[in-house]
Amino acid sequence: MMQGSREPLSVVLITGASMGIGRALACAFAGMGHHLLLVARSRETLAELAETLRRKHGVTVFCCPEDLVEPESSQRISDYCLEHLLAVEILVNCAGLSRASDFEDLAFRELEGIMAVNMFAAAKLTRLFLPGMVEKKKGTIINIASLAGIQGVPGLALYSATKSFLITLSEALHVELQGTGVKVVAVCPGFVDTGFLEKAMHNRRRIRLPVYESDLVVQAVLRGYRKNRMRVYPTFLDYLLVFSQRFTPRILVVKITDFLAAARDRQ
Ligand SMILES: NC(=O)c1ccc[n+]([C@@H]2O[C@H](COP(=O)([O-])OP(=O)(O)OC[C@H]3O[C@@H](n4cnc5c(N)ncnc54)[C@H](OP(=O)(O)O)[C@@H]3O)[C@@H](O)[C@H]2O)c1
């Protein structure tokens, strides 16, 4: 559907918008009057959410169902934006998955899926939408990383490595893009109460850290967005855990994380 001569519509593109943190972010941005482009695999869930947000907030909501494991999916999302004359003003790379497992037990398919969604899709979407933001001298990229990306986590070795990737990518871009009008924020939540933990085979009862609600992550996202922070943490405890690493030998940091996350103590 080509849109004649109308101006492009500025949207917030949220991956992983069908549930959990991404869904909470979609509700928050719609509540602030932003138009949205929602991405995830669950076509019907996205359509229902879009309809709810349109009715409740009077915003325009587009859905682009995609499986981000597929190498061409990011390009298809970009093509969708061109076709529908959408300008991505805020990109939220939120889609992600994990598997609590000894590394040697991860199937190749799982390994590729985790890397494809957590790393490649986020990097490709950033690469695809960044030039438009730089050209407009306005835009924000929000990467939902994790406390797991601050250090290696035994039982989540690959997941923590993908989140480290996202944090360092965000940090480098945050500085690289200073003066261009484009902001880049890495958000580092601890454990959040979504379906993610069960899907990743965590044993909730063994986790020795608070499991908090998505709304704390939403608040951290908005704080990072408004204040142009390089990194944000949803809670003071998250911040304290990271800060205390400065005074702790690295091997001890990883062992304490192993104890607190209990990712090897599975369901
Ligand atoms: N929950 C936590 O404890 C926690 C802690 C720190 C960081 N995080 C991060 O926060 C982000 C959101 O997690 P969450 O807790 O909201 O998890 P969630 O409830 O499981 O939601 C994950 C989202 O990612 C989408 N997704 C997964 N695989 C996909 C694929 N192949 N293609 C497209 N979309 C895909 C899912 O949609 P479909 O299934 O419909 O495709 C869903 O919308 C993730 O990046 C996660 O690593 C979570």
Where residue 27 sits, what CATH number does that domain have?
Answer: 3.40.50.720
Q: How far is CA 146 from CA 44, 109, 166, 168, 179, in A?
A: 28, 22, 9, 12, 27
pLDDT band for position 253 (50/70/90)? very high
Q: To the nearest whole number, what is the mean pLDDT of the chain?
A: 96
Q: Is the CB of 160 under 6 A from ligand 1?
A: no
Tokens at residue 219, please? Answer: 């608040």
pLDDT band at 223 (very low <50, low <70, confident <90, very high): very high
pLDDT attached to residue 1: 45
Alpha-carbon Rg for the chain, nearest whole angstrom, is 18
Active site annotation includes 212? no
pLDDT at 91 over 90: yes
In a domain, 4, yes or no: no
pLDDT on residue 219: 98
pLDDT tens per residue across span 254-264: 999 999 999 99
Q: Among positive and negative, which fits the CA dihedral 87, 92, 97, 102?
A: positive
Asked if residue 119 belongs to a domain, the reply is: yes
Our answer on whether the CB atom of 191 is closer than 6 Å to any ligand 1 atom is: yes
Q: What is the pLDDT of residues 167-187, one digit of tens each?
A: 999 999 999 999 999 999 999
Task: Determine, yes or no, domain membership for 267.
Answer: no
The whole-number pLDDT of residue 4 equals 53
- Position 166 in a domain: yes
- Would you say the CB of residue 153 lies under 6 angstroms from ligand 1? no
Please give the torsion angle defined by the CA atoms of residues 202, 26, 215 and 266, in that order, rounded to the nearest 10 degrees. Answer: 0
User: What residue's CA is closest to ligand 1, atom 48?
Assistant: 192
Number of domains in the chain: 1
Spatial separation of the C-alpha atoms in residues 221 and 145, rounded to whole Å: 11
